[in-house]
């Protein structure tokens, strides 16, 4: 079976639409991590993603009868553009089903390529189900984003180019993973020609379906409602059947990375290329950095696939805010200092000549003031620990660097307070960015619950983040949570969150 895929990859017809993307030395990354790092620049394709390779190879392989009827697919992003471009090149009608929360920039890009766009469903699974209904109803051919031999072979051409471009020592290739089409195609080719080269997949922690499948020894379906949507291009609930079969034979390891580590990866790519990758496009760099740290690797040669650059401009603010945390360059601390003259200057003297990224002050009472401070640190855990130890000798200090409520919300809310509200409960939500989502939530509240606090920020993603305070009597809590689960929004109760208690409660009543 492997030789069949090698033949398919060698014969794949992708260069009517794709370029042979460059393999570039990443000088800054190489110097920082004492390893030679190359970037395979699939973000430079005409649709800013590798997806056009597999889409074109599949559509071009269809019979003339199939091409005459047309094709359909479901995708919120890069695969949609790949199918639309391929269909346009081959003069074939294409219907693309996209979720109702798909950003307008992506919808417009697909329409400009000549495809018909149908907005249906709140996530990929719902859009895919509708697209498959159109397939049966209209006789269209469904172009799967990853679980198809021709699509897999088209993506495998990236490895064919890479090994031709780099003939010297190569220790590992880092590949972003969603449904597995890219890593199964590339991995199969790499292991056939260069079996000594490690093939390492990289997934976002909140959507690691390949990691879960390899751990279980079988395909695992993650709950679509629980998937993290930050790296939306790779947010898939279940790895493909064929892609998993291939991955079991060619993937050496899977590294999981956090949102902050992905943001840091975007910055790393920018510093070497002056290009901005999308979150899924930076997975490989984030995973490579984590792998180097875990294995204390020095003097090795790596390739990281930069898979796409379809970034919404309004996401950059959020990414920039979280980059320093991903690089471990910022410590976000909650500090209680004495409420008396000279306290602030003494606090700054203890910090020393360090860059303060933000400083939020909150009067508590005469016994002390609450300060939320961001302090830039060097890229090692020892430096952060040193400043913590130094401050803890003088003050009460809480490390909030990994506290999602503090990072996403409280740092923008310090200064607000509540009166004593014994029934106030704090919840963190992810709202789908679609018309009516907020109204659905408020309708659930009805007239029975009082909203005491509400903070929302649009991060340019498919899901917005909300922090809400709600008065809920104890005997109503169980039903309230059941109603939330039925509505389908992801939520976490944060009533005991340290950042909330420090900065948003009625401190004088403690």
Tell me the three-class secondary structure of 123-138, residue by residue: CHHHHHHHHHHHHHHH
- Rounded to the nearest angstrom, the gap between the alpha carbon of residue 252 and the centroid of all alpha carbons in its chain is 22
Which residues, including other chains, have CB under 8 Å from residue 400's CB and lie 6 or more apart?
332, 333, 334, 372, 406, 407, 498, 499
Q: Strands 490-493, 36-41: parallel, antiparallel or unpaired by DSSP?
A: unpaired
User: Which single residue is written with the structure tokens 């709950």?
Assistant: 223
Torsion of Cα atoms, 435 then 437 then 438 then 439, to 10°: 80
Q: Does residue 183 contact residue 244 with C-beta atoms inside 8 Å?
A: no
Cross-strand partners of 254: 201
Annotate 260-312 with DSSP letters as a single string. HHHHHHHHHHHHHHS----TGGGHHHHHHHHHHHHHT--S-EEEEEE-B----
The rounded distance, in Å, linking the Cα atoms of 74 and 363 is: 52
- Rounded to the nearest angstrom, the gap between the alpha carbon of residue 20 and the centroid of all alpha carbons in its chain is 26
483 in helix, strand or coil? helix
The rounded distance, in Å, linking the Cα atoms of 185 and 8 is: 10
At 93, list the tokens.
Answer: 């009608």
Catalytic residue among 49, 207, 284, 307: 307
Active site residue 64: no
At 34, list the tokens.
Answer: 């004492």
Count Cβ neighbours within 10 Å for each residue of 324-337 and write b for 16 or more, e otherwise: bbbbbbbbbbbbbb
Torsion of Cα atoms, 447 then 449 then 452 then 454, to 10°: -80
The rounded distance, in Å, linking the Cα atoms of 398 and 372 is: 10
Active site residue 425: no
HSE at residue 284, side-chain half, CA atoms within 13 A, is: 28
Which residues, including other chains, have CB under 8 Å from residue 328's CB and lie 6 or more apart?
377, 379, 380, 381, 384
Catalytic residue among 40, 51, 289, 425: 51
Q: Which residue, 112, 113, 179, is CA-closest to 151?
A: 179
- Taking the CA atoms of 133, 136, 138 and 139 in sequence, report the sign of the dihedral they define: positive
Alpha helices, DSSP H, located in 296-436: 316-326, 343-351, 381-392, 404-408
- Rounded to the nearest angstrom, the gap between the alpha carbon of residue 392 and the centroid of all alpha carbons in its chain is 34
Active site residue ranges: 51, 307
């Amino acid at each position: 079976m492997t030789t069949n895929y090698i033949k398919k990859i060698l014969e794949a017809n992708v260069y009517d639409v794709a370029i042979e993307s460059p393999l570039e030395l990443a000088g800054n990354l190489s110097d920082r991590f004492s390893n030679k790092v190359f970037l395979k620049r699939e973000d430079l394709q005409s649709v800013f993603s590798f997806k056009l390779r597999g889409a074109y190879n599949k559509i071009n392989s269809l019979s003339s009868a199939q091409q005459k009827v047309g094709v359909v697919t479901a995708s919120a992003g890069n695969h949609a553009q790949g199918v639309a471009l391929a269909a346009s090149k081959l003069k074939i009608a294409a219907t693309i089903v996209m979720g109702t929360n798909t950003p307008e920039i992506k919808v417009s890009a697909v329409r400009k390529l000549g495809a018909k766009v149908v907005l249906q469903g709140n996530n990929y699974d719902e859009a895919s189900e509708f697209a498959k209904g159109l397939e049966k109803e209209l006789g269209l051919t469904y172009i799967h984003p990853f679980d198809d031999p021709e699509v897999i072979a088209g993506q495998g051409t990236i490895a064919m180019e890479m090994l031709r471009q780099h003939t010297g020592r190569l220790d590992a290739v880092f590949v972003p993973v969603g449904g597995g089409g890219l890593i199964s195609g590339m991995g199969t080719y790499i292991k056939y020609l260069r079996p000594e080269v490690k093939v390492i997949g990289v997934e976002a922690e909140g959507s690691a379906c390949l990691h879960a499948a390899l751990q279980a020894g079988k395909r695992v379906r993650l709950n679509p409602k629980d998937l993290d949507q930050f790296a939306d291009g790779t947010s898939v609930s279940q790895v493909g059947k064929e892609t998993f079969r291939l991955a079991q034979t060619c993937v050496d390891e899977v590294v999981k990375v956090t949102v902050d580590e992905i943001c840091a990866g975007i910055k790393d790519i920018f510093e070497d290329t002056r290009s901005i990758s999308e979150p899924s496009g930076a997975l490989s760099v984030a995973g490579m950095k984590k792998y180097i740290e875990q294995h204390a690797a020095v003097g090795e040669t790596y390739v990281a696939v930069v898979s796409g650059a379809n970034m919404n401009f309004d996401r950059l603010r959020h990414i920039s805010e979280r980059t320093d945390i991903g690089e471990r360059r910022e410590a976000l601390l909650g500090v209680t200092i004495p409420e008396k003259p000279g306290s602030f200057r003494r606090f700054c003297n203890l910090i020393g000549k360090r860059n303060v990224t933000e400083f939020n002050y909150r009067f508590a009472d005469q016994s002390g003031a609450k300060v939320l401070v961001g302090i830039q640190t060097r890229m090692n855990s020892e430096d952060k620990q040193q400043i913590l130890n130094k401050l803890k000798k003088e003050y009460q200090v809480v490390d909030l660097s990994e506290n999602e409520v503090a990072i996403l919300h409280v740092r923008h809310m310090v200064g607000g307070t509540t009166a004593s509200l014994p029934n106030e409960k704090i919840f963190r939500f992810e709202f789908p960015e679609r018309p009516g989502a907020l109204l659905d939530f408020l309708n659930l509240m009805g007239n029975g619950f009082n909203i005491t606090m509400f903070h929302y920020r649009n991060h340019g993603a498919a899901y917005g983040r909300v922090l809400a305070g709600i008065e809920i009597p104890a005997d109503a809590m169980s039903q309230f949570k059941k109603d939330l689960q039925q509505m389908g929004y992801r939520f976490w109760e944060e009533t005991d969150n340290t950042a909330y208690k420090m900065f948003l409660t009625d401190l004088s009543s403690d």
